[in-house]
Amino acid sequence: MLWQTNLPLIAILRGVKPDEVLGHIAAVINAGFDTVEIPLNSPQWEQSIPVVVKAFGSQALIGAGTVLKPEQVDMLAEMGCRLIVTPNIHSEVIRKAVSYGMTVCPGCATATEAFTALEAGAQSLKIFPASAFGPDYIKALKAVLPSDVPVFAVGGVTPDNLSQWIKAGCIGAGLGSDLYRAGQSVENTARQATLFVSAYREAVQ
């Protein structure tokens, strides 16, 4: 399958607070992003996510990250989330999210984990932490995965090295601390988002 958004880059805003979340997400969307993840270890995510879904749900795929439990998926479905990202493989979490019609991008590191996720219904995979394995590892893993499964590199991806992950076979990447760090200005988020969009476009030319 193909990734369903126009730009296969996931903006990860870990640590964002409810009173600042709209400004930062507007910044990444204005730069060209159309997939946003708010991790559940962010302050008061229960407030941030519904606000973001209401404001930007028609413009972007809005979801949650660090989703660990099936009951969290139920809560997120009620909030209108359409994307579930996990750091690990939890088959029940994946199946529940799929049952709600959500896009699921679970974190995996090995072929066994990848195929377990796909058997549970995951439509995409994130290799995490990507920087610990390197592009050559992802290239080797891609060789045994179904060719139509979108694979994202997450962890250590920067504008300078994004092209390495694309060349290794990733459709895109999840972008965390090199895009957004808790407490940074909206202007900094906008600047980093623009750098990532430019780096992606150059990588796929």
pLDDT tens column, 148-163: 999 999 999 999 999 9
* pLDDT digit string, tens, across residues 103-117: 999 999 999 999 999
Residue count of the chain: 205
Asked whether residue 102 carries a pLDDT value surpassing 70, the answer given is yes
Identify the three-state secondary structure at position 37. Answer: strand
Cα 117 to Cα 94, 122, 177, 189, distances in angstroms: 7, 6, 26, 32
Work out the percent of the chain whose per-residue pLDDT is above 90. 97
* pLDDT digit string, tens, across residues 129-149: 999 999 999 999 999 999 999
- Eight-state DSSP code of residue 65: E
User: How far is 151 from 170, CA to CA, in rounded Å?
Assistant: 5
Cα dihedral 8, 179, 202, 170 sign? negative
Using alpha carbons only, what angle is made at residue 82 by residues 36 and 8, rounded to the nearest 5 degrees? Answer: 45
* pLDDT recorded at residue 1: 54
Asked whether residue 2 carries a pLDDT value surpassing 80, the answer given is no
* pLDDT recorded at residue 99: 98
Q: Which of 180, 186, 140, 203 lies closest to 14 in space, CA to CA?
A: 180
* pLDDT recorded at residue 27: 98
The tokens for 111 are 């072929």
With beta carbons less than 8 A apart as the criterion, state whether 8 and 204 touch: no
* pLDDT recorded at residue 122: 97
- What confidence tier does 3 reach under pLDDT thresholds 50, 70, 90? confident
Place of tokens 């507007």: 26
Cis peptide before 50, with omega less than 30 degrees from 0? no
Which domains does the chain possess? 9-204 (3.20.20.70)
* pLDDT recorded at residue 76: 98
Place of tokens 């202007």: 187
Place of tokens 């439509």: 123
Asked whether residue 165 carries a pLDDT value surpassing 70, the answer given is yes
* pLDDT recorded at residue 4: 79
* pLDDT digit string, tens, across residues 50-65: 999 999 999 999 999 9
The mean pLDDT value for 51-80 works out to 98
The tokens for 72 are 């969290």
The mean pLDDT value for 21-39 works out to 98
Q: Which residues are catalytic?
A: 37, 126
